[in-house]
């Protein structure tokens, strides 16, 4: 499926900025902050637009958000099974303590956690800290 079809499938209008941001996220090995995206885009886009694009991707199941050590949101492209209803990115994330980059560890699945009766689980996170290959 090409990215136009992908945006359409997730209920989003096709715009040049959305297409550019989507392919940026797909081709990046690490999760990208809004300023990373801003720096890497072929054409300039204003901040508000970019913020909305990333927000829309998260709502639509195209990108998931990971907070870095400074509380800055970073975005990574989603598993194909993610949808507007639910994210399915149940993998761990690696936080580099040196450069601060965040990587999806897609092969590391989150353990199933049993919550007490009457509790309803929405999300769980597993974070691994260390040094990435570039910093090690
Ligand atoms: Zn997702
Ligand atoms: Zn690093
Ligand atoms: Zn991830």
Say how many Å lie between the CA of residue 33 and the centre of ligand 3. 13
Task: Note the pLDDT of residue 61.
Answer: 97
> Does residue 135 lie within any of the structural domains?
no
Residue 18 is encoded by which pair of tokens? 């959305």
Is 75:60 a contact under the CB 8 Å cutoff? no
Ligand at shortest distance from the CA of 109? 3
Strand duo 127-130 + 91-96: pairing: parallel
Ligand at shortest distance from the CA of 58? 1
Task: Note the pLDDT of residue 33.
Answer: 97
Say how many Å lie between the CA of residue 115 and the centre of ligand 3. 23
Would you write out the chain's pLDDT as a tens digit for each of its 136 residues? 899 999 999 999 999 999 999 999 999 999 999 999 999 998 888 999 999 999 999 999 999 999 999 999 999 999 999 999 999 898 999 999 999 999 999 999 998 899 999 999 888 889 999 999 999 9
Is 105:80 a contact under the CB 8 Å cutoff? no
> Does residue 16 lie within any of the structural domains?
yes
> Does residue 110 lie within any of the structural domains?
yes
pTM: 0.90
Say how many Å lie between the CA of residue 111 and the centre of ligand 3. 15
> Does residue 108 lie within any of the structural domains?
yes
Task: Note the pLDDT of residue 58.
Answer: 97
Of 101, 73, 77, the residue nearest 89 (C-alpha): 77
Q: Which residues pair with 113 in a beta bridge?
A: none
CATH number for position 120:
1.10.10.10
Ligand at shortest distance from the CA of 104? 3
Q: Please give the residue range of the domain that contains residue 9.
A: 3-130
Is 65:58 a contact under the CB 8 Å cutoff? yes
């Amino acid at each position: 499926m090409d990215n136009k079809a992908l945006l359409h499938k997730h209920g989003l209008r096709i715009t040049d900025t959305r297409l550019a941001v989507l392919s940026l996220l797909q081709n990046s090995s690490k999760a990208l902050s809004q300023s990373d995206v801003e720096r890497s885009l072929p054409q300039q886009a204003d901040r508000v637009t970019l913020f909305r694009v990333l927000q829309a991707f998260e709502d639509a199941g195209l990108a998931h958000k990971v907070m870095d050590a400074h509380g800055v949101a970073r975005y990574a492209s989603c598993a194909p099974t993610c949808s507007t209803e639910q994210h399915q990115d149940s993998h761990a994330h690696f936080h580099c303590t040196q450069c601060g980059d965040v990587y999806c560890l897609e092969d590391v699945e989150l353990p199933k956690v049993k919550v007490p009766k009457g509790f309803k689980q929405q999300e769980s996170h597993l974070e691994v800290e260390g040094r990435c290959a570039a910093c090690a």
